[in-house]
Amino acid sequence: MHHPLLSLKKTIPLLAAGVVLTAMAAPSPVQERADRFLALANAGYQGLYRVNNEAQWLAVTDVTPVHDAAAETAAKAAAAFNGNPALISEARELLTHRAELSELTVRQLNQLLLNAAEGPMTNPSLVAARVEAETKQASILNSFEFKLDGKPITANDIDNKLDSSTNLDERRKVWEASKESGPALKPGLVKLRDLRNKCASELGHHDYFALQVAAYGMKTEELVKLHDDFLTQLRPLYLQLHTWTKYKLAEKYHQPVPKRIPAHWINNRWSQEWGGLVDAANIDDRFKGKTAEWIIKTAEQFYTGLGFGPLPASFWTKSDLYPVKPGDPRKKNTHASCWHIDLENDIRSLQSIEPNSRWFYTAHHELGHGYYFMAYTRPEVPPLLRTGANPGYHEGMGELISLASSQVPYLQSRGVLPADFKADSTAFLLNDALAQSLPFMFWASGTMTHWEADVYAKDLPPDQWNARWWQYVRDLQGVEPPAPRSEEWCDAATKTHINDNPCYYHSYAFATVLKFQLHDYIARNILHQPPQTCNYADNKEVGAFLKKIMEKGGTQDWRKVLKDATGEDLSTRAMVEYFKPLQSWLEAQNKGRQIGWD
Ligand code: X8Z
Ligand code: ZN
């Protein structure tokens, strides 16, 4: 394994001589000590990261007791190193001299301490208990079999039925079937909440939510306020969309107009995206005749067109991209993810791609992670900092490309839409808002963020979990369950991330805000096209712009990365402007209608 020692070289241009000489700056003794320490820390981190990831990959792509046992052992080995008390105390000691250390060094030490808090070996039995509980929870989640009328139904088929069924009784049955995993997952989640909180507090964080928020350099209250502010700024548009949607769906299902939208009327299991509502922008039929292989290859082509290299060859042999074939007893996680197995070139994606628009956008999203991995895998970025500028940046890259891949000119260039397709621009903008942006914010900044903050930071008692969940869905999303949901259910736990990526989901809301800022900059300043109809395809300048952000990894503060790239601070300005043409259109449509649900 090759590890970059920190570069202490400074280049000093000697203009008179017309040459560039390289002089060694004298590093301080404490910097030298940190360099030696971090060489060891990075090596151990990367080595165990790979061993652990290999085992986790096997466990999620083929759930068996043997793979679970191996995953558990590997996770314990990784924690034994990453959470080692000697590492923790040396990192802390070095950070007391932070003024004498380079920024890159300080960032690595901070990251090391965040990693250590995931499995602090100052309390080995706690770490063992957490790893065991995590493994068990993942195993239940990844092998859960949903049933409809007593027959197994895949997650893809649940989603497909919710996309297409116009029968409300059937929709309700499917929706209710999708909630069956909650009770199976609740006991493990109750246990994990406490174990995760104890791990975080072992190293001085208030709770596990606070630990995840520390990756943004923020406190919990600050982060929750940031998300509340997003929602305040977006609420006028959301209320118009919500009103338009409930009238549209009431008409579709021949029902009286409700105050809040019944959850089973919406195509997404959690009402997180409101797709399929705008007929003139529905491109699902256009994927008939395309294959799942075409989807992932086309996604790769998006990136290579921007000037990025092809995915590593091993991506194609080691990834697990397609659904398990009917009759094959293998159980695998059905949610999409992308993995940087060795923090080098072993990049894999887990998906269950079917040829439809959902997987088309998801494939573009996942490769955003893949290309981010590739961009920061370079000697200048030490393994500990092979991360996004913050987790939201990682999600934002994929979301940006999803947005770009939904633009009509791009869809035409890939033969999804015919060359002579006459787009109804309002319909496409409305669909963008509903299916990729606004309801998603009220779910991600709203329900998910608030519920997890309550559960982890405020220790919400488990007998109030479901009531609190639906309180947020009702109040923030304006959605309600088809019938009351008592505490025997744990509807939050039906969402993958609640189990296997806790206190992370706010990153997707961050990503949504970020994607509009980056998109706005690209459309106006690089493409010189309107943000609502522009085409990134094959534009190398766009690629260079994105690469500059991604190749930094976690070496700079995320605020600086954004400011340097766009000249702007984080803001919903770009998102609000993008949808501005919709606001007056919606107001006209909604004239005389009751807006909102209170
Ligand atoms: O989980 C994902 C990705 C994997 S990182 C498919 N997303 C969120 C979700 O599905 O809930 C993408 C956007 C929202
Ligand atoms: Zn993602």
Tens of pLDDT, residues 237-254: 999 999 999 999 999 999
Substitution candidate for ligand 1 out of 350, 369, 395 with most atoms within 8 A of CB = 395
Q: Which residue has a Cα nearest atom 13 of ligand 1? A: 508
User: Who surrounds ion ligand 2 at CB < 5 A?
Assistant: 395
- Sign of the CA dihedral 371, 108, 3, 23? positive
Q: Which residue has a Cα nearest atom 8 of ligand 1? A: 508
- Lookup result for tokens 């932070």: 98
Q: Which residue has a Cα nearest atom 5 of ligand 1? A: 337
Would the CB of 425 count as within 6 Å of ligand 1? Answer: no
**pLDDT mean over 86-115:** 98
d(CA 229, CA 246): 25
Share of the chain above pLDDT 70, in %: 96
pTM: 0.95
Ligand 1 closest atom vs CA 338: 5
Burial readout 479-508 (b: 16 or more C-beta within 10 A, e: otherwise): bbbeeebeeebbbbbbbbbbbbebbbbbbb
Angle, in degrees to the nearest 10, between helices 425-432 and 580-589: 100
Cα-to-centroid distance, 111 and ligand 2 (Å): 20
Which amino acid is it at 270? W
Would the CB of 269 count as within 6 Å of ligand 1? Answer: no
For 135-191, write each residue's pLDDT tens digit: 999 999 999 999 999 999 999 999 999 999 999 999 999 999 999 999 999 999 999
Q: Which residue has a Cα nearest atom 7 of ligand 1? A: 508
Would the CB of 364 count as within 6 Å of ligand 1? Answer: no
Cβ–Cβ under 8 Å, residues 442 and 436: no
Higher pLDDT, 17 or 254: 254
Share of the chain above pLDDT 90, in %: 94
pLDDT over threshold 70, residue 3: no
Would the CB of 365 count as within 6 Å of ligand 1? Answer: yes
**pLDDT mean over 196-212:** 98
**Which of 26-30, 209-213, 452-456, 588-592 is the least confident region?**
26-30
Cβ–Cβ under 8 Å, residues 435 and 273: yes
| Cα-based distances in Å from 575 to 372, 394, 531 | 23, 19, 10
Which residue intervals of 418-557 are DSSP H helices? 425-432, 438-441, 449-452, 465-472, 496-500, 506-521, 540-550
Q: Which residue has a Cα nearest atom 2 of ligand 1? A: 336
Cβ–Cβ under 8 Å, residues 364 and 401: yes
Angle, in degrees to the nearest 10, between helices 292-305 and 391-405: 110
